[in-house]
């Protein structure tokens, strides 16, 4: 019954996230078809339709990322190219640097040297890190935000922590944090797919992701096995 409930929530979330932009597009189409608009107005409506279509596109892509690792990667027996946590952290920081969300957020790094390669590719590692860091940046107070990124070797593999000094995860979403469409953000700001995608990618590579209470705010911890050389 728990699985049915989560399928129900998934469908409701999907209907909502995709239904809203589709309703908007239908509305814009009707206005365009009714005619009587000048060129600039027509262009404006087409641009709005494009934005809504892009939103649907992004949601579907994220959903596939969430579903694919478990189905194709594991069942087909194929594995991701091993990736470096250290490189992925550098790339994620370079991509985030110029973003408005990251202005006034201090990032502290504590990445152990000489970490082994892990079973997730660098591209996917960057995707996981970006999701977690952007969530942390969303949560912290403007101008006083701090995010700690730690990575260390463990007996089973590598453990990475992303901790922030925001208010922590809201009680009402704690139980289903990693399910698709769980979000406390307003429509257009969050789809609730970020953590679900992270889970899909990590579990598909034999890893885990959990949430803990941090010293002040939220702490997300993911682990990955060390990649064994195929040579």
Binding site for ligand ADP (CB under 6 A): 131, 135-136, 139, 164, 166, 168-170, 173, 177, 182-185, 190-196, 217-218
Minimum distance of ligand ADP from residue 202's CB (angstroms) = 13
Q: Which is nearer to ligand ADP, 15 or 37 (CB)?
A: 15
* Position of minimal CB gap to ligand ADP: 194
Q: Which is nearer to ligand ADP, 47 or 187 (CB)?
A: 187
Q: Which residues contact 171 (CB under 8 A, 6 or more apart)?
A: none
Q: Which is nearer to ligand ADP, 127 or 191 (CB)?
A: 191
Q: Which is nearer to ligand ADP, 73 or 198 (CB)?
A: 198
Tell me the CA distances in angstroms from 146 to 134, 162, 217, one per residue in order: 12, 10, 10
- Pick from 108, 111, 122: which is nearest to 158 by CA? 111
* Size (the chain), residues: 231
Minimum distance of ligand ADP from residue 25's CB (angstroms) = 21
Minimum distance of ligand ADP from residue 164's CB (angstroms) = 5
Q: Are 7 and 13 in contact (CB under 8 A)?
A: no
- Pick from 168, 217, 222, 158: which is nearest to 195 by CA? 222
Minimum distance of ligand ADP from residue 230's CB (angstroms) = 33
Minimum distance of ligand ADP from residue 98's CB (angstroms) = 20
What is the longest distance spanned by two Cα atoms in the chain?
A: 69
Tell me how far apart the alpha carbons of residues 148 and 144 are, in angstroms, rounded to a whole number.
Answer: 13
Q: Which is nearer to ligand ADP, 121 or 191 (CB)?
A: 191
Minimum distance of ligand ADP from residue 201's CB (angstroms) = 13
Minimum distance of ligand ADP from residue 195's CB (angstroms) = 3
Tell me how far apart the alpha carbons of residues 158 and 160 are, in angstroms, rounded to a whole number.
Answer: 7
Q: Which residues pair with 106 in a beta bridge?
A: 146
Tell me how far apart the alpha carbons of residues 74 and 120 are, in angstroms, rounded to a whole number.
Answer: 12
Q: Which is nearer to ligand ADP, 100 or 231 (CB)?
A: 100
Q: Which is nearer to ligand ADP, 27 or 190 (CB)?
A: 190
The arrangement of strands across the sheet holding 105-111 comes to: 105-111, 145-153, 157-164, 218-225, 208-213
């Amino acid at each position: 019954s728990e699985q049915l409930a989560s399928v129900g929530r998934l469908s409701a979330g999907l209907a909502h996230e995709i239904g809203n932009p589709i309703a908007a597009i239908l509305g814009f189409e009707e206005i365009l078809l009714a005619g009587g608009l000048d060129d600039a107005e027509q262009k404006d409506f087409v641009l709005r339709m494009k934005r809504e279509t892009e939103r649907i596109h992004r949601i579907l892509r994220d959903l596939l990322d969430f579903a694919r690792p478990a189905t194709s990667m594991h069942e087909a027996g194929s594995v991701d190219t091993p990736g470096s946590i250290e490189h992925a952290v550098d790339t994620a920081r370079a991509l985030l640097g110029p973003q408005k969300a990251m202005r006034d957020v201090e990032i502290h790094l504590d990445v152990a040297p000489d970490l082994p390669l892990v079973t997730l590719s660098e591209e996917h590692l960057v995707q996981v890190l970006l999701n977690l860091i952007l969530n942390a940046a969303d949560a912290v107070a403007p101008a006083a935000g701090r995010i700690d990124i730690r990575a260390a070797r463990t007996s089973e593999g590598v453990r990475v922590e992303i901790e922030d000094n925001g208010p922590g995860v809201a009680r009402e979403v704690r139980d289903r944090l990693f399910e698709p469409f769980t979000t406390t953000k307003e429509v257009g700001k969050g789809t609730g797919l970020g953590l679900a995608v992270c889970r899909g990618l990590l579990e598909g590579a034999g890893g885990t992701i959990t949430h803990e209470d941090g010293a002040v705010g939220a702490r997300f911890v993911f682990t990955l096995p060390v990649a064994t050389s195929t040579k």
